[in-house]
Amino acid sequence: MNGLQRVRILRTDHIEMLVLLSVVSALFVAAAQAQTFSVIHSFTGGADGQSPAAGLAMDSAGNFYGTASVVFKLRNSGNGWILTPLYNFGSAITTGQVIVGPNGTLYGTNPDGGYYQGGCWEYGCGIAFNVQPSPTVCASVPCNWNETSLYTWTDYGESTPNNGIVFDPVGNLYGTTLLNTVFELSPSGGGWTFNIIHAFDGQDGAVPYSGVIRDSSGNLYGTTATDGPYGYGTVYRLTPSGSGWNINLLYAFQDGSDGAAPIGGLVFDNQGNLYGTTAEGGSGGPSGGGTVFKLTPADGSWTLTTLHSFTGMGGPYASLAIDAAGNLYGTTYRDGADGYGSVFKLTNSGGSWTYTDLHDFTAYDGCYPKGNITLDAQDNLYSTASACGEYQRGVIWEIMQ
């Protein structure tokens, strides 16, 4: 299978996602806590958008921002949640996750933006963008924000920025494209300078579906969903060195109890350990429903420990969230009692991990969650489900703890 075929498997909306075999629901898990779950917005496919494929960003005031073919804001009015569209990309294509930048405005990527004549997908090769409030008084309600393209991809072979970007302390942005690059965008002279800091060659992995995270030393960490030494994906680190970057493979998946196809990204704990997920493999059943894993650094190498193996229909597609106590939260894409996905918690007690099924999605309250979970100050959970719900266009959900 070549790189283009892999992308066609993983591509959201245009390309069929990974097809995972159906097996029995998870056994020996703690009782579900569905009574804590609420749908706080059901997308209609109108002005509010549809099919949210990414998670939510939260600002210091507790407002949420996300994408669902539009960029939107979600705020709690005290009497309920109110969604306000901020910017419409003019297509039914979902965008990657937005982040709140240092200046309080929103930054993100759209894998289909910036229409390029003669190449890429229906709506273009992808853009990195900034969305900010209008500097003048707006006569309409709601008041649309302004969009600025930071960079427009035109080279098909390096295109399709998919899921999330991250700032460094001096204002540079870092992200990935499905077609095998890690990029940097640096502010320069009122614009932005684009640079590819690594191009994957297959030996070090391919199809970096998720974005990157950054440590205090400026190193970047991420996953590739395929290829690598054994063909099942990798975890990598990029270290700045002079005018370039050096890549180190921290782990290469083997499709055993360790799992395969790490579509989601990574999170750190406060001791420097990395946590992530795989969508396939593991010891949970004949077809392998994916895993949650931990990578521990020691003496210059990293050791992988599988914390949980799923036995359901399809494992996690999103990155994990971690709370101050070191507990992990995540979603599965097609696991759960009804095969529509689930929300789970892994509780850390002295190095021992207990799995709890927090919610199993149905056709009525959302299905097929792909977005990362966001925790508020009380460790309540917020995210999206990409389909189903009242209008069959996806939902935003909340779990109160």
| Tens-binned pLDDT, residue by residue, of the chain (401 aa) | 444 444 444 444 333 333 332 322 333 334 444 358 999 999 999 999 999 999 999 999 999 999 998 999 999 998 999 999 999 887 656 678 899 999 999 999 988 877 766 677 777 889 999 999 987 767 666 678 999 999 999 888 889 998 889 999 999 999 999 999 999 999 998 899 999 999 999 999 999 999 999 999 999 999 999 999 999 999 999 999 988 999 999 999 999 999 999 999 999 999 999 999 999 999 876 667 899 999 999 998 999 999 999 987 789 999 999 999 999 999 999 989 999 999 999 998 888 899 999 999 999 999 999 999 999 999 999 999 999 999 999 999 999 98
- The torsion region of residue 216 among left (phi > 0), alpha (psi -120 to 50) and beta comes to alpha
What domains are there in the chain, each with its CATH number? 3-399 (2.130.10.10)
C-alpha–C-alpha distance, residues 110 and 123, integer Å: 10
C-alpha–C-alpha distance, residues 141 and 304, integer Å: 52
Instruction: Please give the C-alpha separations between residue 46 and each of 53, 56, 142, in angstroms, as whole numbers.
Output: 17, 20, 14
Question: Does an H or E element contain 234, and which?
Answer: strand 234-241
C-alpha–C-alpha distance, residues 280 and 254, integer Å: 11
C-alpha–C-alpha distance, residues 233 and 253, integer Å: 6
Is-contact 71 95, C-beta < 8 A? yes
Closest CA to 248 of 198, 177, 293, 318: 198
Rg (CA), the chain: 20
All residues at 6 or more sequence positions from 280 whose CB lies less than 8 Å from its CB, including other chains: 18, 20, 232, 255, 259, 260, 261, 287, 288, 289, 290, 315
Q: How far is CA 374 from the centre of its chain?
A: 11
Tokens of 349: 């007690």
Closest CA to 50 of 335, 318, 385: 385
Q: Residue holding tokens 């189903």?
A: 388
Residue 316's identity, in one-letter code, is P
Instruction: Name the DSSP letter for residue 141.
Output: S
Is-contact 37 347, C-beta < 8 A? no
Is beta strand 352-360 parallel, antiparallel or unpaired with respect to 374-375?
Answer: unpaired
Tokens of 97: 């996750």
C-alpha–C-alpha distance, residues 319 and 368, integer Å: 14
- The torsion region of residue 190 among left (phi > 0), alpha (psi -120 to 50) and beta comes to left
How many separate helices (H) and strands (E) can be counted in the chain? Answer: 1, 28
E strands present in 59-125? 64-67, 70-76, 81-88, 99-100, 106-110
C-alpha–C-alpha distance, residues 371 and 369, integer Å: 6
DSSP per position, 163-196: EEEEE-TTS-EEEEETTTEEEEEEEETTEEEEEE
Partners of 185 in the β-ladder = 173, 194
**pTM assigned to the model:** 0.90
